[in-house]
Amino acid sequence: MFRGIRPSVLSWLLPTLVVGPLVGMLFLTLMVLLPTLKDPNSRIYSSRIGYPARQRQTGKPIAVETFVVGQQIATNAIGAPGVSVALDDVNVRPEINGVVESVLVKEGDWVRKGQLLFRLRQNDILARVQQARTDLARSQNQLRQQEVDTQGAIQLLEDEVTLARDRLNTATARVQDSTVRIQQQIEQERTATRVRLENARERLESIRYLHKQGAVSEFRLLDAEDLYAARLQEFENASRGDFLDQNSQFINRDFFLERELDLSAAKQQLANLRQTQSVTLKSLRLDVEKAEAIVNETEGLLDKTLLYAVSDGLISKVNVDAGDFYEIGEDALITLSQNVAFEAFVDQVRLDTIRVGDPVTVRLVAYPGKTFSGSVVRINPAVETEGFRLGKVSINRQYTYSVWIKVEGLPMSPGLQGFAAFNSSQRAVQVPERAITHISEGEAMVMVIESGQAVVRQVGVGQRFDNSREIISGLEIGEQVILDPRVLQPGDRVTSTTVKPDAARFQDLP
């Protein structure tokens, strides 16, 4: 191989061929290794010959990259498959047994509150209503007639009581007049008999005197005494009223008592009539109330033959045809779906980035090329465990939550498949993931610069936004957080170079 080459040339060629490749390999090795000594992502960086270790050995500060803590607007873009579902289902069923006469809606119809859905046959109930109304009218007529009759009878007896009271007043006046007249007669008679008695006494005294003188006989004295005794008896009788006609007094008294009894009897008859008529009227009023109750009941049954929509909604199920017999307790005849929303199945890892009220864009398979706006109205608080397959999209429900979205301007029916795109933005204090270590149960460690030294700080962390993490507590806006702090030790002297937020990860606040 080396024939024909002079020995002097071989003396330097052979070493060159051996040493040259070695030098080249060494140069390439140095070109590769030297940058890794300062590359925080390389293993050599954290070794004994890495940049931080050499800086500590020489007592020099370690150059680090830092991020200034600030509040940013973070945007999350999350896509999730889903299906439209009814948040509320109203089962419509009659409250009475009956034959379905007609069904006025079909599945898929959109109905308004108060719209008639179907009716039951009314023939038998209409007959009962008519009979109940006839019975009520008859009871009301009987009550009105009895009230008129009762009022007339009571008026007659009240007139009788008034007449009896007037007669009693007349009798009372008659007795009073008779009493006055008798007193006057007694007084007059006493005056007259007193005069006659006084005359008889004077005559008796005169004859007694003459008898003592012997001027008159004994016979005349006795005659004068008899006359005086007769006049005295007359005076006593006059004082007692014995001279009056007793029959007249008794007649007046009997007339008064008779009229008093007449008034008492009339009052008793009036009281008895009022009592008996009150019982009769009460019974008739009860009959009217019962008849009214029967009318209300039968009319209520008539109303129950008509079934209306209790609210706006979509007819999602019709389980009846005209001519079917319905019996209370059977399944609902019509299902009215209310508040139909799009249920999106979101990975639970991303669920904490979604809030009620966030805007959502929905695309439905049934409406190709169209998008619909909506907003989050509910987030399922529990993990579901049953897996299923939605169309061509496999959903593992063990790792998903349900997020319900109210779609605007589209009266959806249940069962429409599609996708939801969540584009939420929020203000949050954030730092790059490179600055965080030891994340566990909402807490983590970062290093900040204090007085030129690296200091460990415990922080509370929240949502993750792409390559950044929300800081809930532990950091103040304006502090410098060290990026890639894993090889640093607390107390290391550092010099910092501030790194601006990556435009791909953050959007600066205006």
Q: Is residue 85 part of a domain?
A: no
Tell me what pLDDT residue 144 has.
94
Tell me what pLDDT residue 392 has.
38
The continuous run of DSSP H or E covering 499 comes out as none
Tell me what pLDDT residue 155 has.
92
Domain range spanning residue 313? 94-121+305-331
Tell me what pLDDT residue 30 has.
44
| Alpha helix stretches (DSSP H) within 45-118 | 51-58
Same domain assignment for residues 488 and 467: yes
Same domain assignment for residues 421 and 433: no
Spatial contact of 96 and 302, defined as CB atoms under 8 Å apart: no
The CATH number of residue 310's host domain is 2.40.50.100
Spatial contact of 482 and 448, defined as CB atoms under 8 Å apart: yes
Q: Is residue 233 part of a domain?
A: yes
Same domain assignment for residues 135 and 283: yes
Which of the 8 DSSP states describes residue 467?
T
Same domain assignment for residues 309 and 321: yes
Tell me what pLDDT residue 389 has.
42
Spatial contact of 321 and 107, defined as CB atoms under 8 Å apart: no
Of 454, 457, 458, 459, the residue nearest 488 (C-alpha): 454
Q: How many domains does the chain have?
A: 5
Q: Is residue 231 part of a domain?
A: yes
Phi first, then psi: what are they for 229, rounded to 5°?
-65, -40
Domain boundary pick from 425, 441, 464: 425
pTM given for the model: 0.46
**445: β partners:** 437, 458
Compute the distance between CA of residue 290 and CA of residue 308 in angstroms, rounded to an integer. 29
Q: Is residue 10 part of a domain?
A: no
Q: Which two tokens stand for residue 375?
A: 């907003």
Q: Is residue 88 part of a domain?
A: no
pLDDT mean values, one per 10 residues, the chain (510 residues): 54 56 53 48 56 74 85 74 85 88 88 90 91 94 93 90 87 77 76 84 84 82 84 79 55 77 89 91 94 93 90 85 87 83 80 81 89 87 44 42 82 85 76 84 87 90 77 87 84 84 42
Same domain assignment for residues 172 and 153: yes
Compute the distance between CA of residue 86 and CA of residue 322 in angstroms, rounded to an integer. 27
Q: Which two tokens stand for residue 405?
A: 């979205």
Q: Is residue 438 part of a domain?
A: yes
Compute the distance between CA of residue 428 and CA of residue 462 in angstroms, rounded to an integer. 10
Helix, coil or strand: residue 466: coil
Compute the distance between CA of residue 313 and CA of residue 333 in angstroms, rounded to an integer. 15
Phi first, then psi: what are they for 414, rounded to 5°?
-60, 150
The CATH number of residue 467's host domain is 2.40.420.20
